[in-house]
């Protein structure tokens, strides 16, 4: 299964684009999965058809597309329908740079005695809004960093739908914020630390992958996760020591 992907059976553009995703061998294709690889190709702008999906699935099985039976094909189509949104994320360095800006917002929250979570909305490579938790100072449980950043971005773009925007947040969104992000139809959510108690991007539930909600948002976690975790731990340690 370490056999390199090649032409044939795949088209040259398919092989080239898969390589940019780090998928260069049958083993790497198997690890990714035929459906996700298909969706990555689509997100990368390649015109793909069902035959491409059959080719990817056949390669994983080390066979030819003609060997796939109708049950296998229908299973692939069903998996395609149910798969969480897939997108191509920015370079690691770019995501980390934006997460540093979100961390600066979290520091502002900590200085005010708010749980230190920061968020920002990026549109066409530029920050258009940034916010931090203000639930205590605003006497409003809905004033999480993400909600406020979305509201400000909506005013700037004059649209409550933020298609094409990315949201960076230092902590995995809760169910309230995840729902708002989905409703806003942001393109991608990039978060730092996982939230094992209330996280709604996979830790407790995954609203972003629930296709019943007509989701449009891809999610990636773990960007500067240690820094994002440290600021939270320092905040709560200080509160415990104060008590």
pLDDT at 227: 98
Would the pLDDT of 1 be above 60? no
- Tell me if the pTM is above 0.85: yes
Would the pLDDT of 238 be above 90? no
How confident is the model over 132-167, as pLDDT tens digits? Answer: 999 999 999 999 999 999 999 999 999 999 999 999
Would the pLDDT of 47 be above 70? yes
Pick among 1.10.150.20, 3.40.50.12280, 2.60.40.10, 3.30.70.20: CATH of 12-82: 1.10.150.20
pLDDT at 239: 80
Which residue in 146, 152, 172, 226 is the catalytic one?
146
> Is 144 annotated as contributing to ligand binding?
yes
Distance from C-alpha of 48 to C-alpha of 51, rounded to nearest angstrom: 8
pLDDT at 61: 95
pLDDT at 242: 67
Domain covering 92-242 in this structure, CATH number: 3.40.140.10
- So where are the chain's domains? 12-82, 92-242
> Is 32 annotated as contributing to ligand binding?
no
181-206 burial, b at 16+ Cβ within 10 Å, e below that, comes to bbbbbbbbbbbbbbbeebbbbbeeee
Average pLDDT value for residue range 11-22: 96
Closest CA to 137 of 154, 114, 156: 114
> Is 177 annotated as contributing to ligand binding?
yes
114 in active site: no
pLDDT at 243: 61
Average pLDDT value for residue range 65-84: 96
Distance from C-alpha of 54 to C-alpha of 73, rounded to nearest angstrom: 7
pLDDT at 49: 95
pLDDT at 174: 98
Average pLDDT value for residue range 38-49: 96
How confident is the model over 164-214, as pLDDT tens digits? Answer: 999 999 999 999 999 999 999 999 999 999 999 999 999 999 999 998 887
How confident is the model over 90-142, as pLDDT tens digits? Answer: 999 999 999 999 999 999 999 999 999 999 999 999 999 999 999 999 999 99
Closest CA to 41 of 78, 81, 64, 10: 10
pLDDT at 224: 98
pLDDT bin (cut points 50, 70, 90) of residue 240 is confident
């Amino acid at each position: 299964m370490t056999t390199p992907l090649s032409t044939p059976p795949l088209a040259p553009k398919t092989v080239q684009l898969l390589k940019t995703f780090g998928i260069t061998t049958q083993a790497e294709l198997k690890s990714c999965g035929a459906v996700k690889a298909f969706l990555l190709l689509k997100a990368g702008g390649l015109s793909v058809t069902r035959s491409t999906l059959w080719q990817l699935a056949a390669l994983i099985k080390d066979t030819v597309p003609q060997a796939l039976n109708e049950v296998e094909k229908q299973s692939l189509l069903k998996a395609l329908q149910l798969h969480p949104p897939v997108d191509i994320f920015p370079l690691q360095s770019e995501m980390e740079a934006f997460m540093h800006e979100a961390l600066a917002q979290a520091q502002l929250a900590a200085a005010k005695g708010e749980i230190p979570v920061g968020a920002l909305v990026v549109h066409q490579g530029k920050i258009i809004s940034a916010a931090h938790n203000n639930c205590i100072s605003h006497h409003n449980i809905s004033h999480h960093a993400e909600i406020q950043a979305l509201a400000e971005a909506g005013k700037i773009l004059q649209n409550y739908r933020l298609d094409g925007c990315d949201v960076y947040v230092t902590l995995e969104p809760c169910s309230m914020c995840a729902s708002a992000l989905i409703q806003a139809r942001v393109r991608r959510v990039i978060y730092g630390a996982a939230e094992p108690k209330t996280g709604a991007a996979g830790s407790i539930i995954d609203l972003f992958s629930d296709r019943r909600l007509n989701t449009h948002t891809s999610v990636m976690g773990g960007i500067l996760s240690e820094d994002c975790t440290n600021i939270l731990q320092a905040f709560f340690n200080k509160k415990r020591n104060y008590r």
